[in-house]
Amino acid sequence: MKLYYMPGACPLATHIVLEWIGQPYETEAVPRDKLKQPEFLALNPVGSVPVFTDGDLVLTQSAAILEYLAEKYPEANLMPDTLAGRAETRRWLGFVNADLHKAFGVVFGKASFVNEASCQEQLAEGGKAKAAQLFAIIDKQLEGKQWVTGARSVVDPYLYTVTRWAHAVKMDLSGFPSLLAFFERMNADPGVQAALKAEGLQ
């Protein structure tokens, strides 16, 4: 298994899951200027990370990769074995992937949407405001829980990764105590620590 990533970007979620699973894997950091080069585009025509390979299988999109790993290694207990449990896990994985991540896509990718600097900043602030609304929802979900769904799953490293982005852009998360407690627990996790160290984020 091999993960292509950029440090701190969304592949960090997969990197953490690979640590939790405990099976051999490789990683390769991809510089931003290589994303649109033919060699990388042959792996992912979109020109983005993550890319994950397992033998002849080439996967893109974090949610697909995370679900694949959870199903391939059920002993890691990262996806429930009941239909309702799997649906709930996929619900929150979709929330982080399609809603929260999307909000930060506007923040970090503002220059690709508009050229005017003032408009870019307005767009970024709108993305942060949307992210704050979504963090409020997941903060409520985390009340009284150690993990998003109540049990450790593939949702947790993805939420942790996106919460790191919130800190990076200096969002005020003080109104989300359950989220902040979750973030600190994740920070202390050995698998998280190993992934951060491997990506040069410590």
Q: How far apart are CA 179 and CA 34, in angstroms?
A: 35
Q: Give the per-residue pLDDT at 39.
A: 95
Identify whether residues 115 and 183 lie together within a single domain: yes
Identify whether residues 62 and 151 lie together within a single domain: no
CATH of the domain at 40: 3.40.30.10
Identify whether residues 51 and 98 lie together within a single domain: no
Q: Give the per-residue pLDDT at 54.
A: 98
Identify whether residues 92 and 160 lie together within a single domain: yes
CATH of the domain at 119: 1.20.1050.10
Identify whether residues 185 and 103 lie together within a single domain: yes
Q: 59, 54, 60, 49: which is closest to 21 by C-alpha?
A: 54
> Domain range holding 134?
83-189
Q: List per-residue pLDDT tens for the chain, 202 residues long.
A: 999 999 999 999 999 999 999 999 999 999 999 999 999 999 999 999 999 999 999 999 999 999 999 999 999 999 999 999 999 999 999 999 999 999 998 888 777 777 787 788 888 899 899 999 999 999 999 999 999 999 999 999 999 999 999 999 999 999 999 999 999 999 999 999 999 999 999 8
Identify whether residues 71 and 94 lie together within a single domain: no
Identify whether residues 68 and 27 lie together within a single domain: yes
Q: Give the per-residue pLDDT at 185.
A: 98
Helices (H), the chain: 11-21, 38-41, 62-72, 83-94, 101-108, 117-142, 155-168, 177-188, 190-198
SS3 of residue 50 by DSSP: coil
Task: Pull the structure tokens for residue 107.
Answer: 């923040």
Q: 58, 31, 29: which is closest to 42 by C-alpha?
A: 58
Identify whether residues 44 and 104 lie together within a single domain: no
CA end-to-end span of the chain? 24
Q: Give the per-residue pLDDT at 107.
A: 80
Count of domains observed in the chain: 2
φ, ψ for residue 57 (rounded to 5)? -80, 130
What is the C-alpha radius of gyration for the chain, rounded to an integer number of angstroms?
A: 17
* Sequence-separated contacts (24+) of 89-95 with Cβ below 8 Å: 89/149, 89/153, 89/154, 89/155, 92/138, 92/141, 92/148, 92/149, 92/153, 92/155, 93/63, 93/66, 93/67, 93/153, 93/154, 93/155, 93/158, 94/63, 95/134, 95/137, 95/138
Identify whether residues 101 and 148 lie together within a single domain: yes
